[in-house]
Structure 1
Amino acid sequence: MGHNKRVSQLNDSKNDSKNESSGDLKDIEGIWMGNLTVPGGLELRIVFNISTNPDGSVNASMDTPDQGVSGIPVESVSYKDSNLNLGVKSIKGSFEGTYKENNKTIEGEWKQAGSAFPLVLERVEKVPEMHREQDPVKPYPYTEEEVVYENKEAGVKLAGTLTLPRSEGPFPAAILITGSGQQNRNEEIAGHRPFLVLSDYLTRQGIAVLRVDDRGVGGSTGNVSQATTEDFAGDVLTGVEYLKNRKEIDSSRIGLIGHSEGGIIAPMVAVKSPDVAFIVLMAGQGITGEEISYLQSDLIYRAEGVDNETIAHNEVLLRKMYSVVKEEQNNTAAEEKLREILRAEMANTSEQKIESSDHSEAVIDAQVTSLTLPWMRFFLTYDPRPTLMKVKCPVLAIAGEKDLQVPPEENLEAIDEALKAGGNKDYTVKELPGLNHLFQTAKTGSPSEYSKIEETISPAALEIIGNWISEHTQ
């Protein structure tokens, strides 16, 4: 559920950048790093690598290490009178800043999709590795294999990692399904790799695990611009078929573990495939995306200290926009109506607020595009309850008490009621005290805390998942 505000998911090689300079390029050579705070309070490290060639040309690239992305080409570099401009065309981003001789920093703004975020870059010898305490260290006591398979119907190649216990098989297996936004196989976010930690834990318990790059990420192909959650369910179905044909896997004990949006996908796949033996929903959705969006916005704003009037106004605006998205199926007409709403909002915003707000034509364009994507149209209106009512395999649904993105009370209750109404005979629904959307032990649950918490996944959550799967795959 939008827990990953991404700068990029491209992973290209470095290239020679177009450049012009009337300043000393030595001022800007090197590795520059800064922290970017994106909507929702999530912090991401941004890194620019700048070097010069003997002929004066510049090599520049960008990394977002907290997302596991490196080598994004910086297509243009301009350095004049201490002012640095970096153009990252492939992700529609740019950095504009001023080199400060006194403290050797570059102070400026990162701009992307019409939004601008303050960014102060400092030169570093190297980017510190984010090794979290729970990250597994090689050599592993199990086998790790890079795998590739194809969703032929969609023409998508999917790449992932299969971890296999070293004991005698065939083994029960779980496919991990990421949350919303394009994510790599480790579900990398805020310097954490939750799926790496989870797969390591489960494989040590004797459970084979398949974790996969989302479409268009890492080793996987495919364009997501026209894809919906249902399309991603097709990718997971392909993964089930792949595991069924592996001799090391017990085809009668293949299950799914879905986090956030993955918690919508898992029931879809379980209903479509009789080969799914169990599903685990981690912060899974039990109500529509529209309902979640209002709750999420309210809770995150409150955690950040936003006043009640602003929160109420924001909900009114969201309701207006979502109404258009739901009722106007013609994209051109929907886009025009959304622009009218957002322009009216901009006109009613005081000049002081406009200076610090994101309301500009470029931002309006970005918001309109996002709101009319097939994924968003599906997300807002899809009700998971009818699908949950059809799930007959065992289900474990867990959520963190402090989850502000998929609030536990409303969602767990809806999941419980749907499974009960459908006559499921084996399901467990649990709210886990003190945990956030990523199942970290948290103070407030705000996304702004994710990177600051050393823990990747609470050991209590890992134990609950591991024990439940073991009990259901004996």
Structure 2
Amino acid sequence: MRIAFIILLTLFYSCRGVSQSFEGAWKGDLAVPTGSLPLHFSLQKGDTWTGTMRSPSQTRLDFKLNVIEVAGDSIHLQSAALGMSYKGRISADGEHVEGTFRQGNYTAPLRLGRYDSTQTVKRPQEPVAPFPYNVKEVTFENTASEVTLAGTLTQPKAPGKYPALILVSGSGPQNRNSELEGHKPFEVLADYLTRQGVVVLRYDDRGVAQSTGNFLQSNIGDFSRDALAGLRFLKAQATVDSTRVGMIGHSEGGLISLLLAGQHAPDLKFIVSLAGPSLPIDSLMVLQLYHVGKSQGMSEKQLAKVRPINRKNFEVVKSDLPAPKAMTQLLENMKSVGGASGTLRKELQVMLLEPYRYFMRIDPVPFIQKINIPLYAAFGEKDVQVPAKENQESLVANLAGNPQSRIKTYANLNHLLQPAKTGGLQEYYTIETTIDPTLLKDIADWIKGL
């Protein structure tokens, strides 16, 4: 789920800038209109500077940095292959770089921090070939948008007709495995379910990896149409039982599944929503900022101070005010906490991009009230991005009630459905488990019982 470019959480922290070494490995999360995109940089100093950049959630490829210019505490990076540039300034302790990322017409703040690139991460659930099922690379078309989506279809080897589902990712540009922090949750999910006799289609988001299209200029309506195109493709497969074709969505993907089910999408027979929002999005964002801020050490006093400002800002973002007038109002709102300049001002500008404003106006409740197909909804007790209590209460209160539907909050799971201690974002990388095994079994058993 998008982190709402946590605009107010940094107001109580300062940074300093003096000359330090830029050599080493750096990473940061780039704010994009529909979420965040992790970026990794590696810089080496020999006779000249050399370096690479990687977007780990999109590809394992390293892209050469053609320009690396260092002057005192400032750095300028460029990659010709990606058409991107980054200019930043290092902190006094040498642990962070505050700067601006540019790619084409897109500009956003990007804060980098050091990390140990040699650290070996254990991901015991990651599938390893050979597989006891068929794996096929496929493409399908969203003809309305003239977009070609590339993905992987996994099917049981034995002849027959099987239940089938498509996996729909959360916010931010995601590849077919929904890679994040060394985890590949959609690959793990597809592997487990196919071993249990389910056909699974997972695909690269538009504009990511092998799929065509422009991610940054797309909104949740576009992503929903991509999912429907995949659903039609899946239904047409010879191994698929067309009466048992469903969708699993995580986070924003869970929201998409709820919206499509509420619109009675003709090919959709069941849905699984994993940490999917069930509240009006602007209300969810206020709640999310509170829980994320708390997990990062903000006091109740600080959180109470920023909460009404967050609410006012999201009301502006979802309004019909033209962007210049909306920006004026956001800046006025920020005066009570010292104003907004530099990086914070740029984050406010990102929030006024149309895909983000489109998202902020969504209220899933009227759609949930119209759902009549079986639904399995799972929430994580320690989720700070889509808090379980409020979202489960909204889903239970508004779901009409199919006798086959199940709604459950899993103890000690975070937003990624991993067993967690705090649920904080910083834990995602350090947890070895990709998806809780009990949840995997529950999903498979429920689908097979339909």
Aligned match for 2:40, one of 42, 46, 58: 46
Q: Tell me which amino acid in the other structure corresponds to 1:373.
A: L
1:121 to 1:239, Cα distance in 2 relative to 1, 3 A: closer
1:232 aligns with 223
Alpha-carbon distance in structure 2 between the residues aligned to 1:258 and 1:380: 19
Whether 1:457 and 2:435 are equivalent positions in the alignment is yes
Report the AA paired with residue 411 of structure 1: N
For residues 395 and 402 of structure 1, what CA distance do their matches in structure 2 show?
22
Instruction: Note the alpha carbon deviations across 1:277-319, whole angstroms, 9 max, x for none.
Output: 2100111111111111111111121222211222122212212
Mapped partners of 1:106, 1:70: distance in 2: 27
Structure 2: unaligned runs, 5 residues or longer: 6-20, 101-106
Cα distance change on mapping 1:119 and 1:142 into 2, 3 Å: same
**3-state SS of paired residue (1:70):** coil
Match of 2:192 in 1: 201
Counterpart residue number, 1:14: none
- RMSD of the alignment, in Å? 3.2
Task: Judge conservation of contact 1:4–1:189 (CA < 8 Å) in 2.
Answer: no
Which TM-score applies when normalising by structure 1? 0.80
> In the alignment, is residue 466 of structure 1 matched against residue 444 of structure 2?
yes
Q: Residue 294 of structure 1 aligns with which residue?
A: 286
Instruction: Report the CA distance between 1:45 and its aligned residue.
Output: 7.5
User: What is the match of residue 113 of structure 2?
Assistant: 119
Higher helix share: 1
1:250-276, Cα deviation, whole Å (9 max, x unpaired): 222110001111111112333342221
Please say if residues 110 and 118 of structure 1, whose CA atoms lie closer than 8 Å, have aligned partners that are also in contact.
yes
Is the Cα contact below 8 Å between 1:73 and 1:90 reproduced in 2?
Answer: no
Question: Paired residue for 1:365?
Answer: 346
C-alpha contact (below 8 Å) 2:164/2:244 kept by paired residues: yes
Distance in 2, matches of 1:80 and 1:361, equals: 21
2: CA distance between counterparts of 1:121 and 1:131? 17
Change (3 A) 1:328 1:340: farther
- Once the two structures are TM-superposed, the CA of residue 95 in structure 1 deviates from its matched residue by 5.3
Q: Separation in 2 of the partners of 1:4 and 1:371?
A: 8
Q: In structure 1, the residue corresponding to 2:321 is in which secondary structure?
A: coil
What runs of 5+ residues in structure 1 fail to find an aligned partner? 6-26, 99-104, 350-358
Query: 1:28-43, aligned counterparts within 5 Å?
Result: 32-34=24-26, 36=28
1:392–1:425 CA contact under 8 A, matched in 2: no
**Is residue 425 of structure 2 the alignment partner of residue 431 of structure 1?**
no
Give the aligned partner of residue 162 of structure 1: 153
Structure 1 residue 280 corresponds to structure 2 residue 272 = yes
Q: Post-superposition shift, 1:74? A: 2.4
Map 1:306-317 → 2, pairs under 5 A = 306-317=298-309
TM-score using structure 2 length: 0.84
Identity of aligned residues (%): 35
1:464 partner SS: helix
| Superimposed CA distance per residue, residues 335-389 of structure 1 (whole angstroms, 9 cap, x where no aligned partner) | 33324434x356x26xxxxxxxxx4334313322x22223322322211121122
CA distance in 2, matches of 1:386, 1:28: 51
Distance in 2, matches of 1:364 and 1:311, equals 20
Q: Which amino acid aligns with 2:361?
A: T
Q: 1:251 to 1:418 in 2, by over 3 A?
A: same
1:61-210 pair list within 5 angstroms: 61-65=52-56, 68-79=59-70, 85-87=76-78, 90-94=83-87, 109=97, 111-112=99-100, 115=109, 117=111, 119-120=113-114, 130-210=121-201
**Are residues 4 and 76 of structure 1, via their aligned partners in 2, closer, same or farther at CA, if it must alter by over 3 Å?**
farther
CA contact under 8 A between 1:175 and 1:256: conserved in structure 2? yes
Give the alignment partner of residue 312 of structure 2, picking from 312, 320, 332. Answer: 320
1:12-43 CA distance string (max 9 Å, x none): xxxxxxxxxxxxxxx999xx42455889xx99
Larger Rg: 1
8 Å contact from structure 1 (residues 33, 48) kept in 2: yes
Q: Which residue of 1 aligns with 2:15?
A: none
Give, in whole Å, the separation in 1 of the partners of 2:156 and 2:109: 46
**Contact 2:4-2:289 at 8 Å conserved across structures:** no
Q: Which residue of 1 aligns with 2:390?
A: 410
Judged with a 3 Å threshold, the aligned counterparts in structure 2 of structure 1 residues 313 and 393 are, in CA distance, closer, same or farther, namely: same
